[in-house]
């Protein structure tokens, strides 16, 4: 049994193709690909956490380009895994009806905070899994009051349009961390030292 984390599937959301330059001709092609890759990677014995913006349901006869009228339940029934769905900023429009805004997981002896919007990151967890920012960045080091927090964007736009195992995500994150950089390329020794004390990262 494996743990997968992802976000921002945006199934049925026609405009996401142009908003994020996703490489699909139609939203139907997009949805078919996302579902196919999801099921190739994830079995029904695996746990899957989706950190918000699962789909966007257009109203019948609604705004052109917004997408299809497919309900979240229809998409969910096609996906493998034990699914834990967090709310994002599109969930009010998609009939998902999840009340989970954030959660904490304990994996590998460390606790991680998961939420949709980066601005809702929790400073008491040095690593937060977030979403919402699409292709803008994959990792970001942020100061919240007196603490430094690393944000990992788990959205599919920066993970080749597929859900990833937590081990895969953290392996790439640790490579990024050892480079001692912000997403803008500025070296930051103090921030790395603080995170090393928590993660036991070696030089």
CA 100 – CA 83 distance, rounded (Å): 12
45-64 tens-digit pLDDT: 999 999 999 987 656 655 66
- For the chain, what are the domain ranges? 3-164
* pLDDT score, position 59: 60
Residue 136, helix vs strand vs coil: coil
Which residue, 35, 36, 37, 15, is CA-closest to 26? 15
**What pTM does this model have?**
0.85
Residue 203 banded pLDDT, cuts 50, 70, 90: very low
- Pair 66, 14: CB distance under 8 Å: yes
157-182 tens-digit pLDDT: 999 999 999 999 999 999 888 775 55
Provide the token pair at 135. 């292709």
Residue with tokens 């977030």: 130
CATH topology (fold) of 3-164: Purple Acid Phosphatase; chain A, domain 2 (3.60.21)
Residue 110, helix vs strand vs coil: strand
CA 34 – CA 30 distance, rounded (Å): 6
């Amino acid at each position: 049994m494996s743990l997968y984390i992802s976000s921002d599937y945006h199934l049925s959301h026609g405009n996401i193709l142009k908003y994020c330059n996703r490489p699909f001709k139609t939203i139907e092609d997009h949805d078919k690909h996302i579902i196919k890759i999801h099921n190739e990677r994830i079995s029904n014995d695996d746990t899957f956490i989706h950190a918000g913006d699962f789909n966007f349901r257009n109203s019948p006869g609604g705004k052109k380009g917004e997408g299809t009228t497919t309900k979240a339940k229809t998409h969910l029934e096609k996906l493998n895994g034990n699914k834990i769905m967090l709310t994002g900023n599109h969930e009010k429009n998609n009939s998902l009806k999840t009340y989970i805004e954030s959660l904490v997981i304990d994996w590998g002896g460390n606790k991680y905070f998961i939420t949709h919007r980066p601005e809702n990151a929790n400073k008491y967890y040095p690593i937060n899994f977030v979403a919402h920012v699409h292709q803008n960045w994959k990792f970001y080091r942020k100061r919240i009051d007196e603490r430094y927090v690393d944000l990992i964007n788990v959205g599919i736009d920066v993970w080749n349009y597929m859900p990833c195992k937590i081990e895969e995500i953290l392996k790439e994150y640790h490579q990024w961390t050892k480079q001692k950089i912000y997403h803008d390329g500025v070296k930051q020794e103090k921030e790395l030292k603080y995170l090393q004390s928590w993660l036991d990262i070696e030089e």
